[in-house]
Amino acid sequence: MTENLGVLGEKSARRSGVERVVNAPLPTVYGQFQAIGYLDHDRGEEQVALVYGEIGTDNVLTRLHSECLTGDAFGSRHCECGDQLASALRAVAAEGSGVVVYLRGHEGRGIGLLAKLRAMALQAEGLDTVEANLALGLPVDARDYGVAADILHDLGVRSVRLMSNNPRKREALVRHGVQVAEQVPLLIEPCESNITYLRTKRERLDHVLPHLDAVAHGS
């Protein structure tokens, strides 16, 4: 009986939601940030928000950046993720305040690193990014932005100027109680390696990418 009570006690003590764990200064090439680390008890993920300056509560310049090892760390030209991350960090530093929430567990729009690499291999054979995920029996986009909203709530942010071309990010934040005062375009000049990928994001995933109109379709 005592053992059963112990198990019940352990279950009842199990946490949920996000917990702020640490706040550390992070000097970067873009400026001096505070790296605020969180533990997402529901998914077991470790998350981080990079905060620049005094952010306040309203109209905070914000980027929700989905983890992309190949783009963020390796400089992949298959996507524009690394350039978007750098642009967002530069933008909040230039603004004097802002937040970049780096969302781990979002690799490959939520399917994971190895599955993303398999999808990239299929794209090299001619499938687009949507077709590749579906061919693997995986969702086109499995990302959940609830943890990002929880982090913003913890930081005291009520409304954001969201740096994103993805309307679904805006919809997700509003659904989770964070108002979006403005959606700020984060447009990266395409290259030969990612133009097809970017066009697919615009045509099949509803990303707002008007700058692609200036690129000849055959390039």
pLDDT above 80: residue 108: yes
Residue 23 has pLDDT above 70, yes or no: yes
Residues 34-52, mean pLDDT to the nearest whole number = 96
Residue pair 97/56 in contact (Cβ under 8 Å)? The answer is: yes
Q: How confident is the model at residue 12 (pLDDT cuts 50, 70, 90)?
A: very low
CB atoms within 10 A of CB 22: 10
Give me the chain's average pLDDT, please. 90
Q: Model confidence over 149-159: pLDDT tens digits? A: 999 999 999 99
pTM of the full structure: 0.88
The 10s digit of each residue's pLDDT in 122-171 is: 999 999 999 999 999 999 999 999 999 999 999 999 999 999 999 999 99
Whether 141 is catalytic: yes
Annotated active-site residue 128? The verdict is no
More confident residue, 117 or 215: 117
Map tokens 């097809």 to a residue. Answer: 196
- Angle, helices 146-154/167-175, rounded to nearest 10 degrees: 60
Contact between 70 and 109 under an 8 Å Cβ cutoff? The reply is no
Query: Which pLDDT belongs to residue 174?
Result: 97
Catalytic: which of 143, 150, 161, 170?
Answer: 143
Q: Pick the catalytic residue: 42, 43, 77, 141?
A: 141
Place of tokens 């579906």: 134
Q: How confident is the model at residue 88 (pLDDT cuts 50, 70, 90)?
A: very high
